[in-house]
A and B are shown apart, each in its own frame.
Chain A
């Protein structure tokens, strides 16, 4: 099995768990390429899908991110940043390029248009739970969404997520708490639909 040549990443290991694999990609080893795609493509797709709210656009972002990997891998040096952190930053930058094209700035405040009271209750009821969660995530301010996606879904530590976002851990926790309050307010149903969301 070709994948066995490259160990699975361990979050707590001191070495970059992807370093050996990236070196193999830099040497243009087909097994390394396949293993890296198998390991990172699902994570990139999930990240971009949640940031953009669109699977097709997320696939485009994932492909662009891999083009950056192919270009960077021969020059990759272990020690400065973990490869996974760098890859998340690349993917997030690509997502923000697209969000800006859609005129969604990376603000951390909730726009008025995202007020759940503005969404008809009947429409909310008609949506499945998954669709409602997706819609609520998409309605979050981009920085709140980024913090939640990195910490909850991508399972980055608070220190990694804060470093990736260029903020302190305290600021990350503030974004996370606001994101969760906003989501709870939007998803709580009729009882809370009329309440204002936190800012």
Chain B
């Protein structure tokens, strides 16, 4: 252990030997014991900051409140599984909850959309099976504006 290294240790880790690097703790403590006055000057300066830092430890390291502890525990998977059936049972029972109301209105919209889709699919499939549209009054709508023009002019 050199004086420079002892100073570097105290500058970085403070005066409390518990915070010093484990591999150098014994050597640094021995050096301090052998060079008392030099070490004390360095340690005294660092110890003042350690006292300040310790005051924050007392203020900040307070136990979490019970409500937070319970919220965290409740967020664990096994507890989440236990909560879910209660919500679902309310929804299925139509218990008047807002969540259940949204579920039913969403299902109604989805049902209407499904019926419309099926009707459209049926019409298209019918169209494909017959091959062409049924003749009749609507036939004029299915021909282009250029269809049959030669016959019209020949008549004149």
Q: Chain B: which residue is nearest A132 at the CB level? A: B52
Tell me the interface secondary structure of chain B in the complex: helix
B76 touches A33 (CB 8 A): yes
A134 touches B72 (CB 8 A): no
CB-based A-B contact count at 8 angstroms: 103
Complex CA distance for A55 and B14, rounded to whole angstroms: 26
Complex CA distance for A172 and B59, rounded to whole angstroms: 26
Contacts of A25 in B (CB 8 A): 76
Complex CA distance for A152 and B53, rounded to whole angstroms: 9
A180 touches B64 (CB 8 A): no
Q: Does B58 contact A (CB under 8 A)?
A: yes
Interface size on A, residues (CB 8 A): 44
A63 touches B60 (CB 8 A): no
Contacts of A63 in B (CB 8 A): 68, 71-72, 75
A to B CB contacts below 8 Å, 14 in the list: A33-B73, A33-B78, A41-B69, A62-B72, A63-B71, A63-B72, A67-B75, A129-B52, A133-B53, A134-B56, A152-B19, A173-B12, A176-B11, A180-B11
6 residue pairs, one from A and one from B, having the closest CB atoms = A28-B78, A176-B12, A130-B59, A173-B12, A133-B56, A177-B11
